[in-house]
Amino acid sequence: MARILMVDDDADFLEVQSRVLDRGGHEVATAHNGSEALDLLGKDSNFDLVILDLMMDQSDEGFTLAHRVRSLLGDGASIMILTGVRRAHDLGFDLDSPAGRKWIDADDFVEKPISADDLLERVRRLVE
């Protein structure tokens, strides 16, 4: 169905969600942090969707990562921010405001935790 790259520093969460996506019939690659993800995309940018956690570091890695991922991805690809972090707020970004969302350059914002069905439904909407 779709090729998806999932980036999250929580290994458990990464395992769970990649299995969910796998069972949903998607092809899933994983990365535990931003540099792993960029390395991977540098070699192979043929993904339909990249799912990013925002706070893989205390720095603004998550934010800049979204932009760098965008520049590496092909035209039709989407970015989903999947994060438990309202802390974007503390870095000066309000995810609840349209302006804050625009800054991050993502196609969807999802908050942890998320159920398997919900994740698959949101992915379906983005890749169709």
Is 85 a binder of another protein (CB under 8 A)?
Answer: yes
Q: Please give the torsion angle defined by the CA atoms of residues 86, 35, 70 and 60, in that order, rounded to the nearest 10 degrees.
A: 30
The answer to whether 24 and 1 have CB atoms below 8 angstroms apart is yes
Is 72 a binder of another protein (CB under 8 A)?
Answer: no
Is 9 a binder of another protein (CB under 8 A)?
Answer: yes
Residue 1's nearest CA partner among 30, 26, 31 is 26
The residue length of the chain stands at 128
Residue 32's nearest CA partner among 48, 52, 49 is 52
- Using CB under 8 A, which of 42, 58, 98, 102 touches another protein? 58
User: Interacting stretch for another protein, rule CB under 8 A, among 43-51, 56-64, 65-73, 95-103?
Assistant: 56-64
CA dihedral over 98, 51, 121, 125, signed as positive or negative: positive
- Using CB under 8 A, which of 1, 11, 64, 94 touches another protein? 11
Q: Compare residues 48 and 61 and give the one whose CB is closer to another protein.
A: 61
Residues forming the site for another protein (CB under 8 A): 9-13, 16-17, 19-20, 23, 32-33, 35-36, 55-59, 84-87, 89-90, 112-116
